[in-house]
Chain A
Amino acid sequence: MTIEAKPFNEQALQAWLDATEDEGRFESAPEQKSARPTERAFSTSWIWVVATVAFFFYLGVGLWMIYGADFAIGDAIARASSARAIAHSRDQHVMAVGFYWMPLPAFAEVPFMAVFSRLGVPALAMVAPTALATAMTIPILARIGRDLAVRKWIAATFVTLFALNPYTIFCAGNGMSEAWLVLALAGCFAAYLRWTDKRRIRDLGRLGLWLAVGQMTRHEMLTVVVVFCVLVAIESAKGRRVATALTVAAPSIFGLFAWTIVSFVITRHGFWKAILDGDVADRVTGPWLPDERTVATVATYSATLSLRFAPGIVLAVLFAGFGRELFGHILDVDGRPHLRAVAIVAIGGLFPAQIAFLLLQRASYGDPRYYMPLILLFTIASFIALNGRPRIGGRGAALVVCGLAGCVSSFVVIGDPGISAVTGEPAVIRALLGTEQSAADSNPARSVNLGDWRAFTADLDRRLRPGDVIVLDTSVAAAVHLFSRHPMQIATELDSDSAQQLQLPNPGYTWAVVVPGNYGSLNPTVQALLRGTPPRGKRWEKVDVPLTPAGFRGSPELWHLVDAPTSPALLTAAAQPTKPQETGQ
């Protein structure tokens, strides 16, 4: 059989295309229409400008807290010190991140520290990541508002209320983990709300990854992961539920698993945090906490603080239309789309409930910072309550008032020594208002007086000569490690050779910082070194440094290895240890 080839008849095809284009036969398959009205969708490009401004504002606040108010939370300094040990130290290694906390906030500081430490401003590396995390939360919130068809200026109002809430600002500048937690939660909700709307795998993946970011930030996220898994499973088709939940949970499970394995391999303790929490459980106390820990007292404490942070949340849930969504679902009136309301309420309730539980177990200080996610959840709840409304109306106005009330209340909470003295936050408000420390400041000894530490470190830096090596324990003198201009001359317990080196007759250290009577893996060993026999022809001499002893958990001491005096009596006197100070810690 012979087949005659026929040329590609592009003209015929083109003619047909021209004829049919008007009929719309070549339109792409229609995309799944959003379940919500989108006619009010607005561009969010402007919010990046706002976020950039916010970043520099938060950065400025953070630096003011350190250098203006002499305030930093000890844990933040410890994390930054770990980051410095990883990025810029005598013995750079990733293990220095420590295994007590989940590692993301400290790891996030590493690239900043690699730059800022070399530029001589390591404190910036402590503040910049949290400022960045909070600034990044702003566009995500704006996008949630847009996705929920909230009008632009209404969204801007609520985003501003979030961004300028004093506790948001405080957490953005304090170098702690709350800013990362809030960013992760915002990301989770943005992805979850989009997934409920469009059912795209991409959003499911984003939800999983944001949950992992939260999980690698704080242990409390584990329950949030569970809640989101349950929610996506409920909303998935039968037969797909386990796979969908697994897809969402996988990154968090991997993160937790990988970190536990690494922790086990390196420290031989897979659950280091749990072990340490168990150790401190019995010692957790504070005048702001209920004396008698019962379900009723801890629940009251937790509920009270929740309402002080987000007073509008009750209004949002019960009265502002949000409750209809919530109860509409429960009564099966409106169907599944309103599971987003359940998500807000479930996760919003998780945080106070967890803190109450830990308080009951005497395993938490009940720090107000832990309630900070409620400010974010209030903002999202407001968007849901105002979903698709063309005008702000009475409901919106009430929510705005609640948001403003939350801002004022947060300010009061930070400054209230009766609540917030866990890590010394009232010092920030005192510095802001220019007031003196009052007798009501219940636990000043807990706060690290950063000004003193910085003066101490500056004095030490001035004394250092090339070739000198300082030995210290970062768990009691992290500020020295963080603020010193000579990180390459500081040996710490984070260095892989320190413990071994200290066993030698002449470990090669010429300076030592110790805090007698305090804990730390290296602190007692360094004290033993000072009490022991110094190298031939040398002696350890205590150096006078400018200090305000009341500001410390125990007074730090600076010792210097100097040439030995000729008199044996002086040698003995110099080696006499300082009596450990009782601090009650």
Chain B
Amino acid sequence: MNTENATSSSEFFAERERLWRATYGLRMVAPHLSAHNGMTLRQRKAVICAAAVVILGLALAPRVTGIICISAATAVYTAVIAVRLLLIVNSIGHDPAPVEATAFLIPDDALPFASVLVPAYKEPEILRELLGALSELDYPADRLELLLVLEGDDDETIATAREILADDTQGLSRCLRIIEVPPAEPRTKPKALNYAVQLAQGDLITIYDAEDRPHPLQLRAAAYALATGGPDLACVQAQLNYFNPEQNLLTKWFTLEYTMWFTQFLPGLVKLGAPIPLGGTSNHFRREAIMAVGGWDPFNVTEDADLGLRFHRMGYHIGVIESVTLEEANSDAINWIKQRSRWYKGYLQTWLVNLRHPIRTTRALGLRGFVLMNLFVGGTPLLALLNPIFWFLCLLWFTLQPQFVRDLFPAGVLYPAMACWVVGNFLYVYAFVLTAAKRDDVRLTKAAFAIPGYYVLMSFAAYKAFVQLIFAPTYWEKTQHGLDSATKAVIDLRDQVVTTP
């Protein structure tokens, strides 16, 4: 059995030190980049001042203030939609050659030692499938370690893991270790990863979630991409997609969204040299890069997006590889809103962290990077927050046509706003239709036409995130997995999605 238990006092102190580093390492080294403190005093003052100006403006000159607010919102909409459409246009016909076939040919002795970190919390039910998927990884066993990162007080999951390991039907005992993270606040995935990475021995650090089904050749592909990508390439992000799109409308929408994000937005951003908000799993890092930037921020609930931006700030860049990890799409609306609200909260956290010193951030990211960071990381939750306001105004206008709505939209505001609303929304929906066509799935095409319904759910999640950001900024809303266990579908869809020559 290969477990990490503090049995001696020296081990105990080493464990405490690791835990301290995992929790406060980034905060100590670069406090301005840690979400621990939330908004700085200066940011709070700025927000309060802005709110006061708006309230005062609404009281004294409501029409002018309203027009200014609507204009600003329209400008944000226009910019976000324009950038996204540009990325889609740039990448929709982009069909990169799959790297897995090439990676397959790399001799074993040229491969780096790889540590695969798999954090899990209260997920005993999916461990067996997880280990089954990991056992399929095509990587030399003497150059691979699988680290199952579990919270020390998650007895049930630990017991199940030990039980599976004892059976060892998949022959993983040679390279699998269970890392027990000592119970301590904050109970977040990034803290667990920070703890585990200190025990990992690989030069290639890979993160998978417990419900992931990575393509067997993905580790090799990542190793190849990192080795040939130059020393500044800190990380490569594999594509994520879902194995259960057929389950219901929500999973279809989610699948479309992920396909769009990983096949169009991310390659487009990489092509532009923009900061990349990483996805939370299937990231493959150079060990020295992850250590150089201070690891994950344990107080940020989208530590992945934050890390991507931090890499960019520190002069690294991120690549994407054409290799797919299949995950379970959230099929329950409540569960989905919980997950999405955490993402939005994390995006807002990341945005606020990077806006603490806008000039310094602009210098670090470059002007284009700074603008794109604002449009992607800030713009995504912001638009979801703004949408219901504009839907309401729209509904009001079409039903009652009140004068105040007309007053808020003089010609200079109305036309761009209408162009955004009609043309922008349509092109966005159409991009989803084309994404569905690219996946060659008729069911997704039908779902793509109904995607505006997904926007409504997003807005629910955004408001929940906004409230949580104020009252519980580091609270990690756990996503329940295992709502679908169609293993056969996994294999079928993987074969279908992953193209190999």
Contacts and interface: CB of A to CB of B under 8 A. Distances in A.
B97 A201 contact: no
A8 B112 contact: yes
A247 interface: yes
B113 A7 contact: yes
B442 A240 contact: yes
A8 B433 contact: no
B13 interface: no
B434 A247 contact: yes
B59 to A, nearest CB: 29
Given A6-B113, A204-B434, A242-B442, A13 B422 contact: no
A20 interface: yes
B426 interface: yes
A244 B174 contact: no
B201 interface: yes
Contact of B111 (A9, A92, A254): A9
Given A5-B203, A7-B203, A12-B110, A243 B442 contact: yes
A17 B228 contact: yes
B93 A200 contact: yes
A208 B438 CA distance: 15
Contacts of B438: 201
Given A6-B113, A13-B106, A13-B110, A240 B440 contact: yes
B203 A94 contact: no
B105 A9 contact: no
Contacts, number: 112
Interface of B: 2, 92-93, 95-98, 101-102, 105-107, 109-113, 143, 145, 174-175, 201-204, 223-224, 226-228, 286, 398, 411, 414-415, 418, 422, 426, 429-430, 433-434, 436-438, 440, 442, 445-446, 449, 501
Interface in A50-71: none
A239 interface: yes
A15 B445 CA distance: 46
A86 B410 CA distance: 11
A25 B105 contact: yes
A543 B430 CA distance: 56
Interface string A2-44: 0111111110111111001000011011010000000000000
A251 interface: yes
A13 B225 CA distance: 11
Contact of B113 (A5, A13, A15, A205): A5
Judged by DSSP, the binding face of B is helix
Contacts of A239: 442
Interface string A254-276: 10001000000100000000000
A1 interface: yes
B449 to A, nearest CB: 7
Contact of B426 (A8, A93, A251): A251
A256 to B, nearest CB: 12
A225 to B, nearest CB: 15
Interface string A197-210: 00011111100110
Contacts of A205: 92, 430, 434, 437
Contacts of B204: 8
A564 interface: no
Interface string A507-526: 00000000000000000000
7 contacts: A1-B2, A8-B112, A16-B106, A201-B93, A202-B434, A239-B442, A250-B449
Nearest to A87: B411
A251 B445 contact: no
Contacts of B203: 5, 7-8
A90 to B, nearest CB: 11
B112 A7 contact: yes
B445 A201 contact: no
A10 to B, nearest CB: 6
Sorted from nearest, which 3 A-B pairs have the closest CB atoms?
A202-B93, A5-B201, A8-B112
Contacts of A408: none
B105 A6 contact: no
Given A6-B143, A29-B97, A29-B98, A201 B437 contact: yes
